[in-house]
Chain A
């Protein structure tokens, strides 16, 4: 594989059809981390894309095998660090399902609110980074202004800004901060006022539209056969929201729409995420005034032991479907743990949808797939 990536000194003979191999990454500013793409070009047209992974592999699955069911949750914050709350929720739900732990209503509602705040924060960062990929620098700061309010809420209630480890089997680590509700309401109010600024800056911008419309088109059949999930699949007209299909926590009692677009191009993926943020705000509005009183953590044993068998739990992260699969031998640590991360399937479709387009369009296609490399590489 690496013989393709040698530096070509003699430019007179570039293969049978004038092919050129270009390395994009692993430290390219537009690849959002250490993604290494080996792009085969014919002129400016992409002929083949090979993603090379392994630069940020930390063997999280193997690490989890030596950690107890309380300890392994903190590691999952480091997979998809932009939706760490949702990863933690998936693991906590699985342990609760395996041990039949009763979760108090208060914990369920607070978890749902935090999950939706995390989703908004993730999409905010994505909008900023996506616009920056396409050459617009300013929207990054506008997106981070609202995201900062969410990280402040997280800091006050959970004690950290990115890797929270606030959700434990049975409920929450400690009760929410007394100011939590007022702060979230202030955020909802500000977000509704300021979201129009993104529309003015990004959505309506003619350069942004002409760079994303019709670029990287993914059909519904391909989205299903490649195993895409989340906003990527929903922009192609595939209904795949786990919050609707298999509701967990408090999602069964809230009202929200699953955003499905049919165009399948980069602009549709952008629109899905922007509309999803508004739906998340809608979910938070329904729950924030109705946090039930009571315990924040259910009764759990001191030492958690999962029964012998196999357990699976899936949740909807900001990027798609995250599945956690545990094989237990009855001990205090998992025998085998496997994460089905949404980013890996979404990256695998990149070669298919970017083939034949120009190299400038690769940035738009890759940006709208919303890749988080630690999630893909684990």
Chain B
């Protein structure tokens, strides 16, 4: 009886191993079904989802205008103190004082990409962009000023 058990154990062991190896052998010979992508080589075809949260950006139009009013709703919504808005007062052509942003400071190294600032913005001035290659040699390069130099607020945005 011992010999019978021993032989059946060996038989079952070998068949179960061969069963698994048939699967791996199938993919070894069918290389077209392999889905692995070689990342740095496939940069040209790599397409991330539109919603991918890579970093916060501030879209500007052709006239170099943004829609940020400097209300600091994003600054209050941020859990980590990533955003700092410095405001200034601009003179309108009518001679009135108007609040505007001087600089929109965004610290990528502190950002957890939680999207709460974008959700809080009442004028859709900021959005998430699908950029993910953020490595730099110096940490200070991750502190960004999002409004472009010389930009101003779009007409009609309050």
Contact = CB atoms under 8 A, between A and B. Distances in A.
Are A and B interaction partners?
yes
Contacts of B79: 67, 71-72, 74-75
B1 interface: no
Interface in B14-47: 16-17, 19-20, 22-24, 35
Interface stretch (A22-30, A48-56, A157-165, A321-329): A157-165
Interface string A343-356: 00000000000000
Given A160-B52, A160-B53, A201 B115 contact: no
Contacts of B16: 204-206
Nearest to A203: B16
Interface in A136-176: 138, 142, 145, 148, 152, 155-160, 163, 165, 168, 173-174
Contacts of B48: 155
Contact of B51 (A152, A156, A201, A206): A156
A303 B113 CA distance: 21
Contacts, number: 68
Contacts of A71: 77, 79, 116
Contact of B112 (A156, A163, A205): A163
B83 interface: no
Contacts of B113: 160, 163
Given A71-B79, A165-B114, A156 B49 contact: yes
B75 to A, nearest CB: 13
Contacts of A174: 51, 119
Chain A interface size band reads: 20 to 34
A21 B19 CA distance: 40
Interface string B115-129: 110010000000010
B114 A201 contact: no
A158 B23 contact: no
B23 A74 contact: no
B143 interface: no
Given A70-B116, A74-B114, A157 B23 contact: no
A206 B79 CA distance: 51
Interface string B81-125: 000000000000000000000000000000011111001000000
Contacts of A160: 52-53, 113
A159 B51 CA distance: 5
A177 interface: yes
Given A206-B12, A206-B13, A159 B128 contact: yes
Contacts of B17: 205-207
A145 B20 contact: no
Interface of A: 67, 70-72, 74-75, 138, 142, 145, 148, 152, 155-160, 163, 165, 168, 173-174, 177, 197, 200-201, 204-207
